[in-house]
A and B are shown apart, each in its own frame.
Chain A
């Protein structure tokens, strides 16, 4: 187990390093580094000063080294707009994004698995066909368009839910979250559902395929031959088998959710890192953009690492292989 984790950890460090190279060289070779690091309204003298101060007259590998060392100390530059350290800004916006991504992940599982289960158990029914058609739409409809429709229907036409912002937050278990207040719930419902759509569709498909495959397996026939009730067969024998891959795949999507939250946050004006990114790109607040990219890469790699480890804990067969090796 330890060997396994250490190996994965080394891979993760390598990927983060690689991405820092790509982001750094992307900024410095493709883009104009002065644009990136100095406010666009700076005059000629400011720029000359900045070049010397930032060491841009130095060879490129030396510059990268400075960037890397700064990054390791948590220094990713200062925001032009807010005048605060970019990293601090990102971290301040992170809880809102994590909350949204988490809420939508739970939503995907809570909505997707039961629907997929139904569609898998009764594949020929009209309800199942409707569910499957819906899941195709969930994959192919652009997220931002569905978000727009949500706002039009539920906020503008029906007036049921607020269309923008995060709403009131309160502290539960030491975490400040909007899931603790009624107002918070009403604000998070639409964005979370919007962000969850693709994953609901994914969960439906995975569950349905898993159920159909499992129902044909000998262990299910054997369970039936033991005289077990359908309910026990479905909820214990089948679900326990298919939950592992489903939770793994949906869990892996957590990183993608953080990435896709850029879209949802912008539509619903959700004050997370994604909205910060878009605002920063539009306002040319480039240190924040670079900081966001590095933080998201780090998050992604971390999530993949955690999912790998969780998977090895969930599946007794993986655990066994590890004991042997």
Chain B
């Protein structure tokens, strides 16, 4: 056995020269699909952030919208002179502009609710894992109970109780999602907690806070990142769904879901583009986030490593 471990050493030494991030990055970019998804996702995010500077019109500035431009097919000329590559909606808004502005709202809602849910879920999960005993039992019962209902149903229940509005939607999404984070964090925190170095740290008399934040939490980050990406994608899809159903964001906050809902009535008369293009934007966003998240899981999960 002893000569085996000495054989392994030079290899480990070589690996140590690479930083963990570099190794992670090179492993990530090994997959062409994931790389393409990441590039596309970055492009989508950049476009939505830069929307006010790159769109031909601000679709919510009434001075820039002309009702006469309404329902024009893709490639039409707007009254103001620019080309509407994706056509226009019922109110005469340029769809390309409306989609980029909608993306901003969709992404903002998804990321904000995902982040708040992450913070809450992480806190609760850590408390459960670290406190153990009855506290843990009660917390995990609640988590399990909530997870036995689909997130869509939980969110629907909440909007049914709370009503419309961007703050209420974010709250509904947070409540619908925190349990996934809590379960993830608790599972990986439990694994870490049982490791000897944590016991050793406790024996050294380190404070609970220090042990949790310096030792346990960093080791939960990988699964958290993976769950986080997937949950943000599902938050975006869920918000779009609620908005499409008419119980999500109001017309004053036209996310992609609202745009798709607005276009739905025109679909029957063959004016497909008003619904289809915002739908494609939503689709690309959700699918690319999922692809990136899926591959992150493969790269970050040490158990899957060969």
Contacts and interface: CB of A to CB of B under 8 A. Distances in A.
Given A263-B245, A278-B247, A31 B162 contact: yes
Interface in B225-242: 233, 237, 240-241
B72 interface: no
Interface residues of A, number: 39
Interface of B is mostly: helix
B283 A145 contact: yes
Most chain A Cβ neighbours within 10 Å, of B153, B282, B290: B153
Contacts of A282: 246-247
Contacts of A190: none
Contacts of A30: 161-162
B156 A259 contact: yes
Contacts of B272: 152, 156
Interface stretch (A135-143, A226-234, A315-323): A135-143
A262 B240 contact: no
A266 interface: yes
A259 B148 CA distance: 12
Given A148-B260, A148-B275, A152-B275, 20 more contacts: A23-B157, A23-B161, A30-B161, A140-B233, A141-B286, A141-B287, A142-B240, A145-B283, A148-B264, A148-B279, A149-B279, A152-B272, A256-B150, A262-B156, A263-B241, A263-B244, A277-B160, A278-B246, A293-B160, A300-B148
A36 B270 CA distance: 40
A118 interface: no
A209 interface: no
B80 to A, nearest CB: 30
B149 interface: yes
B145 interface: yes
B145 A15 contact: yes
A256 B152 CA distance: 9
B276 interface: yes
Contacts of A145: 240, 260, 279, 282-283
Contacts of A152: 267, 272, 275-276
Contacts of B152: 259-260, 262-263
A260 B233 CA distance: 18
B236 to A, nearest CB: 9
A281 B247 contact: yes
Interface of B: 145, 148-150, 152-153, 156-163, 233, 237, 240-241, 244-247, 260, 264, 267-268, 270, 272, 275-276, 279, 282-283, 286-287, 290, 294
A292 B159 CA distance: 13
A289 B157 CA distance: 9
Contacts of B286: 140-142
B148 to A, nearest CB: 7
A156 B244 CA distance: 20
Contacts of A263: 152, 241, 244-245
Contacts of B163: 31
Given A31-B161, A282-B246, A156 B290 contact: no
B268 A144 contact: no
Interface of A: 15, 18, 23, 26-27, 30-31, 136-137, 139-145, 148-149, 151-152, 156, 163, 255-256, 259-260, 262-263, 266, 277-278, 281-282, 289, 292-293, 296, 300, 304
A135 B283 CA distance: 15
Contacts of B148: 300, 304
Contacts of A278: 245-247
Nearest to B163: A31
A156 B268 contact: yes
11 contacts: A141-B283, A144-B245, A144-B260, A148-B276, A156-B268, A259-B149, A259-B152, A278-B245, A293-B160, A296-B153, A300-B148
A259 B153 contact: yes
Contacts of B267: 148, 151-152, 156
A18 B156 CA distance: 18
Nearest to A163: B268
Nearest to A140: B290
A252 to B, nearest CB: 9
A157 B217 CA distance: 54
B86 to A, nearest CB: 16
Contacts of A141: 283, 286-287
B256 to A, nearest CB: 10
A315 to B, nearest CB: 21
A144 B244 contact: yes
Given A15-B145, A143-B241, A260-B152, A281 B160 contact: yes
B246 A27 contact: no
B105 to A, nearest CB: 16
A18 B162 CA distance: 19
A292 B245 CA distance: 17
Contacts of B149: 259, 300
B150 A259 contact: yes
Contacts of A262: 152, 156, 245
A140 B267 CA distance: 23
A282 B287 CA distance: 30
B176 to A, nearest CB: 12
A282 B145 CA distance: 28
